Amino acid sequence: MDYFQQETERLRFRKLTENDISSWAEFFVNNDRLQFFNFDLSKSKETLAEEWIQLQLNRYKNEQYGHLAAELKTDGTLIGLSGILPRKLKGQQEYEVAYSLKPAYWGKGYGTEMATCIKNFGFKNLDTKRLISMISIGNQASIHVAQKNEMSLLFNTHYQGEEVHVYGVTR
């Protein structure tokens, strides 16, 4: 299966491009969950979106993975980002199932749909026994998605200067 061309019942995944910056900037509007990210909120929403997408383009080149655009099959609307993020955690190579949704699409099951698709891809295609999701302490919505994705709390740690829960699932 091609990492960059996955589908679920309602969603299609693809590589991000610079053309997605203006659409992804909507993620930074009326989003009370930005507190769980390590963003410099003094920057414009367009700058934040550009930096996030550029990071993914670099990941594609250097790590073969990264967030993918999650689009509605019905009309191609970009509603979120989800993907595999290779991580070094406690000296171990890990693969994170990561997901973020624009606020307008919260509470509709899309986060779980995205995360489950990425988890299934990871177990079919990666040489790993475990997949993780790192979630900021207090981010109940992401914890709920991880739990619906059959993950359970493994431990807490500090990552990039913040305390996070590490949820995981094994084959």
Each residue's pLDDT tens digit, 127-162? 999 999 999 999 999 999 999 999 999 999 998 888
How far apart, in whole angstroms, are the C-alpha atoms of residue 72 and residue 79?
Answer: 7
User: What are the Cα distances from residue 53, in Å, to 75, 90, 106, 135, 162?
Assistant: 21, 27, 21, 20, 22
Contact 116, 147 (CB under 8 A): no
Question: How much is the average pLDDT of 16-27?
Answer: 97
Each residue's pLDDT tens digit, 46-90? 999 999 999 999 999 999 999 999 999 999 999 999 999 999 988
pLDDT at 1: 67
Alpha helices, H only, the chain: 21-24, 45-63, 110-125, 140-148
Alpha helices, H only, 11-109: 21-24, 45-63
Answer yes or no: is pLDDT of 92 > 70.
yes
Contact 56, 85 (CB under 8 A): no
User: What are the Cα distances from residue 10, in Å, to 24, 37, 82, 112, 146?
Assistant: 19, 27, 14, 12, 19
Question: How much is the average pLDDT of 161-167?
Answer: 92
pLDDT at 171: 87
11-170 adopts what CATH topology? Aminopeptidase (3.40.630)
Each residue's pLDDT tens digit, 95-123? 999 999 999 999 999 999 999 999 999 99
Query: DSSP secondary-structure letter at 113?
Result: H
